[in-house]
């Protein structure tokens, strides 16, 4: 939120700082008035995958590349098509009431 870069080539953004929520609404209302669609699906899917890459990296203790994750068949179970109202949860707490924890460097996901 500070809009700065530290290091050898220090930089600070000094331009306008409009509210992202107001700007999003302006874009939405403009598109509606023009009869156009706004599709953020590509950006949302990409940012979600970047988040998953971060989780995988934390869980495994390894660097995860874009190429690895896009070619992987990894998924967080259960798959949506396997879900039903009466199913057991994929993870349950242990005897002490805590859920299992991934151990970086020992957990294999990809």
pLDDT tens readout for residues 14-32: 999 999 999 999 999 999 9
Q: What's the pTM?
A: 0.58
Please count the structural domains in the chain. Answer: 1
Cα three-residue angle 17-21-24, rounded to 5 degrees: 100
Query: What are the Cα distances from residue 26, in Å, to 1, 37, 42?
Result: 22, 13, 20
Q: Is residue 105 part of a domain?
A: yes
Binned at pLDDT 50, 70 and 90, residue 2 comes out as confident
Residue 12 covered by a domain: no
Query: pLDDT tens-digit profile of 47-94?
Result: 999 999 999 898 888 899 999 999 998 888 888 899 999 998 888 899
Question: What is the pLDDT at residue 52?
Answer: 92
What pLDDT is attached to residue 74? 85
Q: Is the pLDDT of residue 108 over 80?
A: no
Please indicate, yes or no, if residue 101 is contained in any of the structural domains.
Answer: yes
First and final C-alpha spacing in the chain: 33
- Kindly state whether residue 77 falls inside one of the protein's structural domains: yes
Q: Model confidence at 9, in pLDDT bands (50, 70, 90)? A: very high
What integer pLDDT is reported at residue 78 of this predicted model?
A: 86
Domain that holds residue 53: 42-110
Strand 4-5 and strand 11-12: the pairing is: antiparallel
């Amino acid at each position: 939120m500070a809009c700065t870069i530290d290091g050898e080539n220090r930089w600070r953004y000094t331009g306008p700082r409009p509210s992202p929520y107001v700007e999003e609404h302006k874009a939405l209302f403009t598109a509606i008035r023009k009869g156009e669609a706004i599709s953020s699906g590509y950006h949302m899917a990409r940012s979600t995958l970047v988040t998953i890459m971060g989780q995988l990296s934390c869980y495994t203790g390894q660097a995860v590349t874009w190429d690895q994750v896009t070619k992987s068949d990894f998924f967080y179970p259960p798959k949506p098509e396997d879900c039903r109202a009466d199913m057991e949860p994929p993870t349950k707490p242990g005897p002490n009431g805590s859920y299992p924890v991934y151990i970086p460097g020992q957990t294999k996901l990809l």
